Amino acid sequence: MRHSLLKSLSVVILSIMLLPVSMQAQNAKIKFDIDRKIGEVDKNIYGNFVEHLGRCVYGGVYEPSSILSDADGYRKDVMDAVKGLNISLIRYPGGNFVSNYHWLDGVGSKDQRVPRLELAWARLETNEFGTNEFIKYCRTIGSEPYLSVNMGTGTIEEAQRWVEYCNVKEGPYYAELRKKHGFPEPYNVKYWSLGNEMDGFWQMGHLNAEDYSKKARETAKLMRLTSPDIKLVAAGSSNYRPNANPDLWNRTILTELKDVIDYIALHIYVGNPDNNYYNFLSTPLVMEQRTDIARGMIKEVMQTANRPGRTPIFIAWDEYNVWYRARTTEAMKGTRALEEKYNLEDALVIGGFLNVFIRNADIVKMANMAQLVNVIAPIFCEEKGMFKQTIYYPLEMFAKNMHGTSLDVFVDCGTYNTEEFYIGLGESKTKQTNVPYLDISATYKEGEVVICVVNRNKDQSIKTDILSQTGEFSGSIKVYEINGPDIKAMNDFGTENVKTVTKPDLKATGNSLTYSFPAHSLTMLKAIIK
């Protein structure tokens, strides 16, 4: 009996060995249908953030003493790199900084501006760079300004006066003050946030959810009476600390401000302090889970909201990034604070975040990477030059190509489970199951489908069948790849190990093609569908 069973088993094994490779191990599969739509991709998901922190403003965006700067003091080399990111809007001036910032300190003649002790990041604030310098910078690079009002030590009247200064053409005092400062036309700033991270105990003027909602409602009232068409962003949960109850904060804010706000802001920072690649690469799924929870809350409160003629409430991920190396007490203070250096695996995580924004295009209508230059940033500069960090390239890839309608893509591929881990400093632990090795988003616009794929597999390429379920591929398919010699590869002055590389075009017949996505890579495919 035993001999017979062994003989039968040998026959089965031999039969499997003789099968074609394609039958022994199926390829991964991607299916897209241009009629299966999620929502329109908002250009504002390609935003960024400038805070008076470390060398983001002084020595980054603005350095009048540098031979590399223009007549306005803006670093030209940095500006050229910034323009390459097609940034839609820039959040300013904070961040933690804003909760003790008084905008009047930063306008008028520079020789009369008063230096202040900056309490959030322990540095001297000269106020040499303020509202007018920031908005001129935005106009120069083609971005919209997104201003955050002081909901900590500031008053509702101070916020109203800032709106008046920026948006009212003439007549009242602060509109005339802007004109006196040399800016006759109003700026018409559309986007304003009602403070920053007011749920955080570290925030100057920290409030509980009920008190924040009361102050935010009255601030919004004055701001809208001054400039009725502005869009307002409420401060949602800043992170998921143990015992912080962020979902209760968000629910309270949405319930109390459902008739007032246009967006709720969420923040997330992730890291890899334990050097666990697969845990780290799964962190964008945490963002997606939190997006789903907020979506449900928004759907619930919208049932009783009174918003005639206005859009529903959307989500703004107005701070997100990888940040963990430069997060010690010493690295978070002073003139060189938060100067994180990035590698390939960080770039892949950023690609994952961008995929999340595309996959949730119906509800995520704004996102702002923190920050623009030097401070946890895609661009790093010193006195004599600059370089593009690894995370620059996914931002550039998406901002230049991922527009139009987000598609609901079917993906079938291998998965893995993570260990229990912290996604960021001070956050609650999480564990991810069934994490797909291929992380995918796709858009469709004017006959062109663009597919972005992160292969999370550290060691193996993944051969994938790609099927169009409406229309056939036409002409050559463009392929672009972000990769490097290994997952720890970094860029530096004069060294570019990680960047976007154009690969050979693909040829496809009919409605299918097969492509092998390299290990630890971000790949973009651009195809015409007819």
Nearest to 56 by CA among 376, 340, 390, 333: 376
What is the residue type of 194? L
Q: Are 239 and 291 in contact (CB under 8 A)?
A: no
- Tokens representing residue 460 in the block: 């193996």
Q: Are 368 and 333 in contact (CB under 8 A)?
A: no
Q: Are 50 and 91 in contact (CB under 8 A)?
A: yes
Please state at what angle helix 283-302 crosses helix 344-359, rounded to 10 degrees.
Answer: 20
Q: Are 336 and 54 in contact (CB under 8 A)?
A: yes
Per annotation, catalytic residue among 319, 396, 427, 481: 319
CA-to-CA separations, 363 to 311, 316, 520, in angstroms, rounded: 11, 9, 29
Show Cβ contacts of residue 474 under 8 Å, excluding neighbours closer than 6 positions.
Answer: 527, 528, 529, 530
Q: What angle do CA 461, 462, 463 make, to 5 degrees?
A: 120
Q: Are 465 and 430 in contact (CB under 8 A)?
A: no
Tell me, yes or no, if 446 is annotated catalytic: no
Give the three-class secondary structure for 117. Answer: strand
Concatenate the DSSP letters of all residues of 250-286 into one string. Answer: HHHHHHHHTTT-SEEEEEEEE--TT--HHHHHTHHHH
Q: Are 319 and 267 in contact (CB under 8 A)?
A: yes
- Cβ atoms within 10 Å, residue 485: 9
Tell me, yes or no, if 383 is annotated catalytic: no
What is the residue type of 465? D
Tokens 């997006």 appear where? 291
Give the three-class secondary structure for 492. Answer: strand
Per annotation, catalytic residue among 133, 197, 396, 427: 197
Q: Are 145 and 211 in contact (CB under 8 A)?
A: no
Q: Which residues are catalytic?
A: 197, 319
